[in-house]
Structures are given as C-alpha cells and as structure tokens.
Amino acid sequence: MAALESTVSTLEDRLDRAINRDIPLMKGTLRAVVGGEIDDIGELPDAGRELDDQLTRFDERLGTIERRLDALGDVETSADTKAEKVAAVLAYARNKRNGQSKVAVTLHEVKGCAGVSRRYAYELIDTIGDEIDGVAVREPRTVETGSGTKHKGKALLVDCEAVHGETESVNQFTTGGGPSDRS
C-alpha cells in the first residue's frame, strides 16, 4: 500500500507541474505562434489553419519576389547580355518613377544604366520599345514652351505599373520569349 501511495503522490506532483507550469507555457507559446488568443482547445484547429494559410501566402509572395530578382539578374554589377541590359533599363525606370506611373528614360540614361555606347543605346531603345509591353519610344522633337523652344531627345516612355506590375514583360527576355544575344 505504501508503494501505491508513493506512486500516486509522484503522479500528483507531475500532474500539478503540468497543470501549473507546462500547460500555461504551451498555451502561451501557441498564442505567440498563431498571433491570437486561444482560450479553448477547440480553437486550436482553426488557429492552426489560419497560421498555415498565412505562411502559404508569405511563401507565395517570397516566391514571386525571388522570381523577379532572378529575372532582373545581378543588374547592379554589370549588364552583359541583352536581357540584363533591358532589365537594367527597366529597373532604372522603376527607381526613377518616384510615385509617377509613367517616366521617360532618355538616351543618356539608357547609355549610363546599361553601360553601352550611344549607338547601342539607340538600338536598345528601339528594341525595348518594340518588345516590352507598356513601353513606347518617344522620337526626338522640338516643343514650344512658354520661354521658347526645347529639344526633347529620343527616349523610352515607360508605364511602370504595366511593366513592373506584370513580370511577363521583363521575363520575356530571360525565359526565351525574346532575344538575349550578347552585344
């Protein structure tokens, strides 16, 4: 009988420790993980599903961002292929936009961000204008202003929302949808 009482006493101690320390610790951890209050064990499945849905959405967003980064390549170091030069110009347009939906990227800017000659910058402007949806070519022209005339050189007119809202426009150069020859 003494052995049975000892076993019951040991079990009571373990049960008290679980009730008073372990279970509150686990509930607190679960609340922190799922980001909400869980007062009843019946709430756990819904909280778990909500957490799983949130993690799935984050994973999808991360995948989209990684694909965009892969499509752009390592634009900051050097643009060697035609696809990288196109990506560099489109990345430049996105950075230049500053809240505007459309921006003009001049011949000089194309030359600088793609690291190409003036002649190849002209070629690149024509190629991007022809092959990327949401981009048009502005031919050189003279415009009348209030203080006289102003010459506007050849440039790309980039609709940043159309180009950067759909990764297809950039990806067509990197996934075989367009030319990617070295220049």
pLDDT at 58: 93
pLDDT at 99: 81
Give dist(CA 87, CA 66) in Å, integer: 15
Return the closest-CA partner of residue 50 out of 63, 66, 37, 67: 37
Amino acid identity at 113: C
pLDDT at 174: 44
100-147: per-residue pLDDT in tens?
A: 889 999 999 999 988 899 999 999 999 999 999 899 999 999 888 888
12-25: per-residue pLDDT in tens?
A: 888 888 788 887 88
Query: Contacts from 108-114 at CB under 8 Å and sequence distance 24+?
Result: 108/153, 110/156, 113/88, 113/89, 114/79, 114/85, 114/88, 114/89
Contacts for 10 with CB less than 8 Å, ≥ 6 apart: none
Domain spans of the chain, in order of start: 2-63, 78-174
Residue 71, pLDDT above cutoff 70: no
Classify domain 78-174 at the CATH class level: mainly alpha
Helix (H, G, I), strand (E, B) or coil at 150: strand
Cβ neighbour number for residue 43 with a 10 Å cutoff:
14
Q: Which of 73-82, 88-97, 117-126, 153-162 has the lowest mean pLDDT?
A: 73-82
Length of the chain: 183
Q: Which tokens belong to 132?
A: 């990327």
pLDDT at 165: 60
pTM confidence score: 0.48
